[in-house]
Structure 1
Amino acid sequence: MAEFAFHHCGVSVPSLDAAIEWYGRVLGFAVEKRFHIAAAGAEAAMVRKGQLRFEIFEVKGAAPLPDDRRHPPADLKTHGNKHVAFRVEDLEEFLAEMEAKGADVAFVVREAFGKGCFLRDCAGNLIEFVEEPTP
């Protein structure tokens, strides 16, 4: 089988500038490049933190994120891509940092199988952060 590796996650937002600010201020991503995608009528940016990347799109006239896509249990009831997830060392420390930054914490899970949380970005898109259980 051909080898491949993760490259980026794509997210559509109503304001590219607001999303660049949010991903930088809240999660520490920096703009790698900005560009126009003529075929989609999109202004876009690739933001990066280490090896992690988000490709952010602003398309004039795009429909807003439906309310059921903003809450993890409801979102699972619609087929399609759901979210991207990142590992954190300490969920409680991460949550305290995110709350101090004013992040929108959508959902927190503290179960025997593991702990995690979902944030909503400035457009309501879900991003998961997981603390893996110690063996």
Structure 2
Amino acid sequence: MTARFDHVGISVPDLEAAVTWYREALHLTEEHAFAVPGTDLRGVMLRHVGGHRIELLHRPDAAPGPVADGPLAAAGILGYGHLCLAFDTADEVDTEFARLVAAGAGVRMSPRAAPRPGARMAFVSDPYGNLIELIDRAA
């Protein structure tokens, strides 16, 4: 059996606004929108040309959970911590960090050396506090 990672699902308070932000900020296109019959759950599957997907989910009465202010705090909360986007060079990490911040992402960790020798990393958050890591995987 061969398995591969398909997508990450993120619950958001405003589906339309989240779709707009993720499409523009992460260069995603809408694959399909859906509603689960008999429930109040709606969602939109977004896809990047590179193949990864992000599924945005919305329930009107969803309760907010803990929101970490950075990667260290996220590691102290059991469950989902962050999604990570890999880049070919350290310069791309810096450029993408600046572009995402200009697009409204929150600064959670400015670009710096990663724990892995020779790599560079940064963290931002989407408008709802969900963490997005940027890392140079070429090192």
Give TM class, smaller chain.
Answer: 0.7 to 0.9
Distance 1:78 1:40 in 2: 28
8 A Cα contact 1:65 1:123, kept in partner: no
Cα offset, 1:121, TM superposition: 1.1
Partner letter of residue 60 of structure 1? Answer: P
Partner letter of residue 109 of structure 2? Answer: F
**CA RMSD, 1 decimal:** 1.8
Structure 1 outlier segments of 4+, above 4 Å:
none
How high is the sequence identity, in percent, across the aligned residues? 30
2:121 to 116, 119, 123: 116
Distance 1:79 1:39 in 2: 30
Q: TM-score scaled by structure 1? A: 0.86
Distance 1:24 1:17 in 2: 11
Structure 1, residues 96-120: CA drift from partner, whole Å, max 9, x if none?
2223323222223522622211221
8 A Cα contact 1:119 1:126, kept in partner: yes
Distance 1:62 1:94 in 2: 31
Structure 1, residues 14-44: CA drift from partner, whole Å, max 9, x if none?
0100110000111111111000023653110
Partner letter of residue 129 of structure 1? Answer: L
The runs of 5 or more residues in structure 1 that have no matched partner are: none
**How many corresponding residue pairs?**
132
Distance 1:46 1:14 in 2: 16
8 A Cα contact 2:97 2:111, kept in partner: no
1:29-108 correspondence to structure 2 within 5 Å: 29-38=28-37, 41-50=40-49, 51-67=51-67, 69-89=68-88, 90-108=92-110
The runs of 5 or more residues in structure 2 that have no matched partner are: none
